[in-house]
C-alpha cells in the first residue's frame, strides 16, 4: 500500500493515559527518536503527585507533550496537533486543550461503561457527535497488542502493559521517526528479563506495521531536521543538565564536589544523576532530613570542597538557618531550589516560580546571597557553572532557582568544549597573612571582598568559626555595635560588587515602546509571544534576567528606556515588586499560579492589549 507523505514544519503531540500506562516513558522515547533526527524539540511532562493515583480517574491522568520542528522553537507548544488518549479520563482531561481539526487517537478497548462512568460520561463520546470537530482514529490498542504478543512468553497482564509500545510504534511510523535507539533502549531496560524485551519489541513493531498497512492512516508525515549550529548535540532535561554543570564545575575548579541532599520532588533526579559520577570526584550523601543535608554540604565547604545541596521550596525553608550560617561564615555553598507549586506541600509535580522572595529575603537578619535562574533545560548546565563560579570566587552562598517546567522539560543541548568553560580554580590560604605573623580570617581581598579560605588542619591558620558575629579581620567574637554595622554592610557590599553581565534587550527594529521582562522559565513563552507580535508588525522588546541578585548594572537604564514594562511571572508578582521598589518603575505584572507554564498565545493576547494603550 502506497501512502501519501506530507511535509510539515512543526508538530505538537501529547501522549496521555493513566499514571500506570507508561506515558512518560513513551513520550521520552519519542523525544529521543526525534532528537536523533535533528529536529529542534521542547517537551512538557505532566503527571500526578501520587505514585499510583486511582486508575481511570481524572486525577490519575499522566501526559507528555513534545513539540518538534524544522526551525528554532522556544516552547512545548500551546495546543497539541495530535492527542493519543489511552482511556476516557485522558480524553476528557485533555480535550479542552485541542484545537478544532486536531487528530485524536483513542484506545477503544478502555471505553467501557465502567471507565466512562468514572469520569462522568453518560455515553461514549466516540458514539455521539461531541467529537465531530476533530479527526478521530479509533484503535483497539490493548487488544491488538495482546494479539500481537500471543506467541510471546509473557502473561496477559504484561502483554497489556506493552500497549504503550504499540502506540509508540504507530506514532513513530506516522512521523517517520528512526526507531533503532528505542529497540536498543528496550534491550537495556529489560536486560534481566529477555521475554519482556521480546514482547515490547514485538509490540513496537506491531504498532509500526499497523500504521503501514491500515486504511485508518492514509498519510504519513515528515518534519525535516532543523538548521542548528554545527556540533554534537544530545537531548537533555534541565535536571540532567544542571547535574552535568555541577560535575563540570568540579572538574574546572579541581575541587571535590559534595552533594548533601534529601529526596524531594522535583529535585531528586539531581541526586540520582550525580551519584553516577564518582569517577569525577563527586560524593553524594542522602541525608535523613533537609537540615542535615545542608549542614553536611556546608561542612564539606569548610573542609575545602564545593558544597552543594539540592531541594525544592519546602526544603529551602528548612535550610534557611544553615544558609544564614554560611553567610556569617562567608563560605561557598550552592543551594539548588527546583521550584514547585506551594505553599506547604502544595502541588509537588506542578511548576511555579514563587520562591523568589524566599531566595532574596528568606533568612533572619541581613543575610544577602547571590541568586541566579536558568531560562531553559540546556541553560541549567551553564547556570550551574555560574553559580559555582560566584560561590567559589566570592565565598558566598548562591541560590540557583530552577523550576519543575525547566527541570523535567528537555531540549537539544550543544556539548561544549570543556576547555572553553570558565577556569574556577581557587587559591586556599597557606600561610599567615597578618603583619605580625598571625592569621586574619576576615582580612579581605580588595577586589572581591572575599575572605581567605583556609582548610582545617593547615598549620598556623587556626581560627574561630561559628554563627556569632565576628570581629573584622581577626574573626574573634564581637558584640561591638560599630563592628556589627560594618560587617553587615560589608557582606551586603560583597554581593552587590559581584560583576554580572549587562542585561541584553531583543528589540530588532529599535522602535519598541513596550518591554517584556522575564526571569527563569518564562523565557520561552515570552520569546515565542514576542516573535508572533513582531511578525504581525507590532514592535515589542524582550529582556530576560539570569542574575536576580545582584541585578545587572544597566537594568535601571534599560527599564527607563521604555514607556511600559510588563513582567509575566508564575507567581503573584514577586519580581515586579522588586523592580518597582528598586528602580521606581511602574511595571505591570501579569501573573498566574495554575501549576502550568504560560502559553505563547495567552501572552500574545495580553501584550497586544497593552500595546493598544502605549
Sign of CA dihedral 282, 285, 290, 291: negative
Peptide bond into 30 cis (omega under 30): no
Note the pLDDT tens digit of each residue in 169-192.
999 999 999 999 999 999 999 999
Q: Are 311 and 269 in contact (CB under 8 A)?
A: no
Q: What is the band of 3 on the pLDDT scale with cuts at 50, 70, 90?
A: confident
For residue 2, what pLDDT is reported?
73
Residue labelled with grid coordinates 587556626: 462
Q: Tell me what the mean pLDDT of segment 379-404 comes to.
A: 98
Note the pLDDT tens digit of each residue in 542-582.
999 999 999 999 999 999 999 999 999 999 999 999 999 99
Q: Mean pLDDT for the chain?
A: 96
Please tell me the least confidently modeled range out of 44-58, 97-111, 361-375: 44-58
Q: Is pLDDT above 90 for 283?
A: yes
Q: Is pLDDT above 80 for 52?
A: no
% of the chain at pLDDT higher than 70? 100
Predicted TM-score of the model (pTM): 0.95
Note the pLDDT tens digit of each residue in 225-266.
999 999 999 999 999 999 999 999 999 999 999 999 999 999
Q: In terms of Cα–Cα distance, which of 587, 592, 614, 612 is closest to 603?
A: 592
Measured torsion, CA atoms of residues 352, 358, 361, 367, in degrees rounded to the nearest 10: -130
Instruction: Report d(CA 583, CA 576) in Å as an integer.
Output: 10
Query: CB under 8 Å to 424, separation ≥6 — which residues?
Result: 249, 252, 253, 254, 385, 388, 389, 392
Instruction: Report d(CA 200, CA 180) in Å as an integer.
Output: 13
Q: Measured between alpha carbons, how far is residue 580 from residues 335, 554, 557, 576, 587 in Å?
A: 27, 16, 14, 6, 6
3-state helix, strand, coil in the chain (%, to 5): 40, 20, 40
The 3-state DSSP class for residue 304 equals coil
Instruction: Report d(CA 301, CA 33) in Å as an integer.
Output: 41
Q: What are the grid coordinates assigned to 515, written together?
A: 518591554
Note the pLDDT tens digit of each residue in 457-476.
999 999 999 999 999 999 99
Q: Is pLDDT above 70 for 1?
A: no
Amino acid at each position: 500500500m502506497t501512502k501519501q507523505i506530507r511535509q510539515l514544519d512543526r508538530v505538537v503531540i501529547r501522549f496521555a493515559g493513566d499514571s500506570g500506562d507508561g506515558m512518560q516513558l513513551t513520550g521520552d522515547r519519542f523525544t529521543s527518536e526525534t532528537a536523533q533526527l535533528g529536529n529542534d524539540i521542547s517537551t512538557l511532562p505532566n503527571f500526578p503527585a501520587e505514585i499510583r493515583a486511582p486508575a481511570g480517574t481524572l486525577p490519575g491522568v499522566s501526559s507528555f507533550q513534545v513539540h518538534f520542528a524544522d526551525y528554532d522553537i522556544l516552547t512545548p507548544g500551546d495546543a497539541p496537533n495530535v492527542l493519543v488518549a489511552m482511556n476516557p479520563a485522558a480524553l476528557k482531561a485533555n480535550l479542552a486543550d485541542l484545537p478544532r481539526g486536531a487528530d485524536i487517537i483513542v484506545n477503544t478497548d478502555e471505553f467501557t461503561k465502567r471507565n466512562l462512568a468514572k469520569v462522568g460520561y453518560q455515553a461514549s463520546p466516540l458514539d455521539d457527535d461531541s467529537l465531530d470537530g476533530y479527526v478521530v482514529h479509533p484503535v483497539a490498542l490493548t487488544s491488538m497488542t495482546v494479539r500481537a504478543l500471543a506467541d510471546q512468553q509473557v502473561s496477559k497482564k504484561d502483554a497489556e502493559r506493552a500497549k504503550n509500545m504499540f502506540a509508540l510504534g504507530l506514532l513513530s511510523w506516522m512521523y517517520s521517526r528512526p526507531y533503532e535507539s528505542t529497540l536498543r533502549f528496550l534491550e537495556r531496560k529489560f536486560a534481566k528479563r529477555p521475554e519482556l524485551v521480546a514482547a515490547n519489541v514485538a509490540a513496537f513493531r506491531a504498532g509500526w506495521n499497523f500504521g503501514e498497512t491500515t486504511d485508518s492512516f492514509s498519510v504519513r508525515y515528515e518534519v525535516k531536521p532543523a538548521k542548528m549550529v554545527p556540533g554534537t548535540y544530545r537531548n537533555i532535561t534541565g535536571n540532567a543538565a544542571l547535574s552535568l554543570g555541577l560535575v563540570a564545575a568540579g572538574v574546572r575548579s579541581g575541587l571535590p564536589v559534595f552533594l548533601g541532599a534529601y529526596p524531594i520532588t522535583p529535585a531528586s533526579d539531581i541526586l540520582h544523576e550525580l551519584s553516577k559520577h564518582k569517577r569525577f570526584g563527586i560524593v553524594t550523601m542522602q541525608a535523613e532530613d533537609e537540615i542535615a543535608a545542608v549542614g553536611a554540604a556546608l561542612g564539606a565547604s569548610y573542609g575545602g570542597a564545593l558544597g552543594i545541596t539540592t531541594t525544592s521550596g519546602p526544603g529551602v525553608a528548612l535550610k534557611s538557618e544553615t544558609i544564614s550560617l554560611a553567610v556569617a561564615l562567608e563560605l561557598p555553598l550552592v543551594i539548588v531550589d527546583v521550584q514547585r507549586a506551594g505553599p506547604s506541600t502544595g502541588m509537588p509535580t506542578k511548576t511555579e516560580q514563587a520562591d523568589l522572595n524566599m531566595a532574596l529575603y528568606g533568612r533572619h537578619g541581613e543575610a544577602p546571597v547571590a541568586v541566579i535562574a536558568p531560562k531553559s533545560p540546556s541553560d541549567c548546565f551553564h547556570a550551574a557553572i555560574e553559580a559555582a563560579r560566584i560561590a567559589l570566587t566570592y565565598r558566598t552562598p548562591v541560590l540557583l532557582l530552577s523550576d519543575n517546567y525547566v527541570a523535567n522539560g528537555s531540549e537539544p543541548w550543544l556539548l561544549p568544549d570543556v576547555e572553553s568553560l570558565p577556569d574556577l580554580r581557587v587559591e586556599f590560604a597557606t600561610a599567615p597573612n597578618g603583619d605580625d605573623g598571625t592569621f586574619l580570617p576576615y582580612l579581605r581581598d580588595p577586589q572581591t571582598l572575599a575572605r581567605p579560605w583556609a582548610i582545617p588542619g593547615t598549620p598556623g591558620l587556626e581560627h574561630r568559626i561559628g554563627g556569632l558575629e565576628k570581629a573584622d579581620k581577626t574573626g574573634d567574637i564581637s558584640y561591638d555595635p560599630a563592628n556589627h554595622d560594618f560587617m553587615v554592610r560589608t557582606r551586603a557590599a560583597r554581593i552587590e560588587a559581584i560583576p554580572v553581565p549587562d542585561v541584553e534587550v531583543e528589540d530588532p527594529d529599535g522602535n519598541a515602546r513596550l518591554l517584556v521582562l522575564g526571569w527563569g522559565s518564562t523565557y520561552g513563552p515570552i520569546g515565542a509571544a514576542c516573535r508572533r507580535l513582531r511578525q504581525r508588525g507590532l514592535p515589542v522588546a524582550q529582556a530576560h534576567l539570569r542574575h536576580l541578585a545582584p541585578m545587572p548594572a544597566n537594568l535601571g537604564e534599560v527599564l527607563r528606556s521604555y514607556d511600559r514594562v510588563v513582567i509575566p511571572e508564575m507567581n503573584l508578582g514577586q519580581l515586579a515588586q522588586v523592580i518597582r521598589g528598586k528602580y521606581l518603575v511602574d511595571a505591570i505584572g501579569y501573573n498566574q499560579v495554575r501549576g502550568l507554564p504560560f502559553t505563547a498565545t495567552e501572552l500574545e493576547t495580553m501584550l497586544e492589549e497593552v500595546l493598544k494603550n502605549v
